[in-house]
Amino acid sequence: MTSILPRSILVLLIALGCQPTPAAADEPVDDLTPLSEFRQRSRRIEMAASETTQLLRLPLDADFWLHTRPGFPDVAVINDHHQMIPFLIRRTPGLQSFTTPYLWTPQQIELLPEDDGALSLIVRLTDTDPQPELLRIQTPLQDFEQQVQVTDETTTPATPLCEPTLIFDYTRFMDVRRMEVPLQKTTGRILKIRIQTATAELESPLRELSSTVNSSGQTEQSERSLRIRRPFRIDRITFQSTSVTKSSIHLEARPLEITEVREDPVQRTTTAEFLSDQRPITKILLQTTATNFRRRVTLQVPAQHQPEKWQDTADGFISNFTAGTLSEQQLELSLPELRTRRLRIIVQNLDSPPLPITGASASGPQYELLLLTEPGHSYQLLYDDDHALQPQHDLQALNRAIQLHTPTVTATLLPAVQRQLRPKQPVADPGHRLLNSPWLLGIVSFVSAVLLGWSLYDAIRRLDADRQGPSDSANPTTPPVP
């Protein structure tokens, strides 16, 4: 009997262990979880009612950029039947104009000394030369001032193309130099460039010392400055014109939040850190109260896999010159398009005074979402999922509508709503799914029940045989039960 009960109990435990386990309250009953199941944020799309299919454009705002991943794998659009809708995200086309500079050197130049000591250059442009907008004079000289005037000689009298303009080099006092003369556009092909002084007298750094003996026998010394005549040498003159092009990208500017500015006297640098809202950035415009400087700057962002470290993204020079009539400012830094929450700019001061950084603004392209909408349906934009995969959509109809320049209708995104989602469960492996199959569990339960019934029957039969064994053992003709 001691060997029969454990065997029965073992069969019973096997049967109970093979029963189907009820699903947990937070576990999806089916295996086909919708692709939009775990996106955290939902925003309804507000659009005008229409009786036809229309191409909808949806401008994307800061909340979208702050809660989406690069490449937009976590973005989805669903309709009121919870079906995923194909969409495209592209840069917003704009009408902003850009100017592209074009430099060239004229081929025919004549020198003409004037009677008043001036020097004139007669420039003959060809029919293929564009209309000049800027004159640039190249000279190896330093420490000078020259007044320049440009006229169009094809008219009578000659038409001035600029006011008398001062070009100069103040290297003796500061690294400041201006050699450009802005011009008014003209269709004339003969220009006259008049430089006020062909040869200038300069005070030599050398001094002439002389000694004389007066009538009383005393020696007198005198000092006289020497004057030298230096011709104004011209290496080359170039003209610049610009071509206007329409931009296909609409840029958007916004201020950055400055969080820290610190000086490093050992490295001789100024470091300014900023916070951004992760919208795309292609240009940074620095703000400073300093003037008359030119510094090298480096833009850094957190490293991709090591956020505590910084990596270089772009570098360049910023400058601000203000002296007399000179006013030139270049505080903009161009960089490859990036999305970041934090960035910092390092200014190389060298031995110059630290550069005070008071702020910065960022600019970059705007983006929009395009989709085809059907009449009588409503739509939602879903995003914010750290593990979502890129949806695979049929985009042929949408791309064709864009190629044919189909008019777009602008919609609006309503404020974001945090969705109430069930906790995400790990995906079951095939072996786990097989064990939870109702067919397999039914077969195992049936076989277990049969084995349990047979075991109980066999146990009862053996118990009855054991009880009859002692009374029958007195009769020698009855064989003992084995």
According to the model, what pLDDT value does residue 276 have?
93
CA distances from 442 to 8, 15, 21, 74 (A): 20, 11, 13, 40
Residues 6+ apart with CB under 8 A from 183: 132, 133, 134, 135, 150, 161, 162
Least confidently predicted of 113-122, 175-184, 245-254: 245-254
88: tokens are: 């495209």
Check pLDDT > 90 for residue 450.
no
Check pLDDT > 90 for residue 16.
no
332: tokens are: 């903009």
The residue count of the chain comes to: 482
Nearest C-alpha neighbor of 89 from the set 402, 416, 419, 409: 402
According to the model, what pLDDT value does residue 27 have?
37
According to the model, what pLDDT value does residue 23 have?
38
Instruction: Round to whole Å and give the CA distance between 290 and 355.
Output: 7
pLDDT interval class at 210 (50, 70, 90): confident
Check pLDDT > 60 for residue 166.
yes
Domain 100-243 has CATH 2.60.120: yes
Check pLDDT > 80 for residue 480.
no
Check pLDDT > 70 for residue 395.
yes
Top-level class of domain 41-95+367-418: mainly beta
Instruction: Round to whole Å and give the CA distance between 408 and 373.
Output: 11
Check pLDDT > 90 for residue 165.
yes
pLDDT interval class at 89 (50, 70, 90): very high
Top-level class of domain 251-365: mainly beta
According to the model, what pLDDT value does residue 94 have?
72
Mean pLDDT, all residues of the chain: 82
| Range list for CATH 2.60.120.260 in the chain | 251-365
Torsion angle (degrees, nearest 10) of CA 385, 390, 393, 395:
110
Strand, helix or coil for residue 102: strand
Instruction: Round to whole Å and give the CA distance between 312 and 346.
Output: 10
Residues 6+ apart with CB under 8 A from 79: 85, 374, 377, 378, 379
According to the model, what pLDDT value does residue 218 have?
76
CA distances from 59 to 95, 384, 410 (A): 16, 17, 8
Which residue would you say has higher pLDDT here, 253 or 172?
253
Give the pLDDT confidence of 180-204 residue by residue, as tens digits: 999 998 989 999 999 998 887 666 5
Check pLDDT > 80 for residue 412.
yes
pLDDT interval class at 172 (50, 70, 90): confident
Q: What percent of the chain has pLDDT over 90?
A: 50
How much is the average pLDDT of 41-56?
92
How much is the average pLDDT of 155-184?
90
Taking the alpha carbons at both ends of the chain, their separation in whole angstroms is: 14
3-state SS record for 29-80: CCCCCCCCCCCCEEEEEECCCCCCCEEEEEECCHHHHHCCCCCCCCCEEEEC
CB 77 within 8 A of CB 451: no
Give the pLDDT confidence of 343-387 residue by residue, as tens digits: 999 999 999 999 999 999 999 999 999 999 999 999 999 999 988
CB 274 within 8 A of CB 344: yes
Least confidently predicted of 42-51, 328-337, 433-442, 456-465: 433-442
Which residue would you say has higher pLDDT here, 267 or 476?
267
According to the model, what pLDDT value does residue 204 have?
57
| Range list for CATH 2.60.40 in the chain | 41-95+367-418
According to the model, what pLDDT value does residue 38 have?
83
Task: Note if the pTM is more than 0.75.
Answer: no
Nearest C-alpha neighbor of 105 from the set 224, 220, 237, 196: 237
